[in-house]
Amino acid sequence: MIGYGSQGHGQGLNARDNGMNVIVGVREGGESWKLAQEDGWVPGETLFPIEEAINKGTIIMNLLSDAAQSATWPELKPLITKGKTLYFSHGFSIVFKEDTKVIPPTDVDVILVAPKGSGKTVRTLFKEGRGINSSIAVWQDVTGKAQEKAIALGIAVGSGYLYETTFEKEVYSDLYGERGVLMGGIQGMFKAQYEVLRANGHSPSEAFNETVEEATQSLFPLIGQHGMDYMYAACSTTARRGALDWAPVFEKANKPVFEALYKSVRDGTETRKSLEFNNRSTYRKDLERELAEIDDQEIWKAGKTVRSLRPDYKQS
């Protein structure tokens, strides 16, 4: 396994707990090396510099960040020799090869197992005995056993169930979803609703509770457990009527934005933006500044106060 970021941590520990013979390859002495040691990976036994780990491994799980996969590929590609299997958890590098320059050798199986969540969730759901949903795909099947390997490794890294896709569809849907309702869209919508409430005289506490707290703590879990219709049915008659009337309005307003977003994903615009930003020498500083700007927004300041008032609140 190459890389020990979010996915490397979750998938690596799960595979190890499932009895797989896993070794980790990261930059010796770096932050990931230290984190891996803290999780019980032993230098010289299960923890090695990247080149040595690839030479020792038979299935090479490339779990470096997308930008790092592109930057390191010239050094890694010669190490992916005949007989090995190349494993990804994102179709990014392979599908957008014109931008990433990641072109696999022609004599190895190339497979994908893509957990639908963060590496932290991959680990926590595994420990709870549930497992996360993951997609699987085959880019190149030299041995005739590539799909069998993808299924086996999907279970090994802690998936609860697997569904088939392609490398292309995985990366298109993944980039689209993250920029849409999973992250970008929900932040934008939360902020817009909160600001309208504040502009109309509602307190920060009330605006946050009616925008984020009730959604994440009460209603969204019902959708996850039982579906949208169940959540509607669980609410008051007044709430149901308003939601049924306004849902088509929001769909009509948002659909053009989502269509533009999908086009930006599919034509590679989002890929090029990501590679440019994540390869900057000032990447970490720039990212920290942008995240600090979100943290400093009144909505999320109010959220810290509201969370501290929950009966089950624990200081983290």
Residues annotated as catalytic (active site), given as ranges: 90
159-164 vs 132-140, strand pairing mode: parallel
Instruction: Please report how the helices 167-179 and 269-278 are oriented relative to each other, as an axis angle in degrees rounded to 10.
Output: 70
Q: What is the 3-state secondary structure (H, E, C) of the chain?
A: CECCCHHHHHHHHHHHHCCCCCCEECCCCCHHHHHHHHCCCCECCCEECHHHHHHHCCEEEECCCHHHHHHHHHHHHHHCCCCCEEEECCCHHHHCHHHHCCCCCCCCEEEEEEECCCHHHHHHHHHCCCCEEEEEEEEECCCCCHHHHHHHHHHHCCEEEEEECCHHHHHHHHHHHHHCCCCHHHHHHHHHHHHHHHHCCCCHHHHHHHHHHHHHHHHHHHHHHHCHHHHHHHCCHHHHHHHHHHHHHHHHHHHHHHHHHHHHHHCCHHHHHHHHHHCCCCHHHHHHHHHHHHHCCHHHHHHHHHHHCCCCCCCC
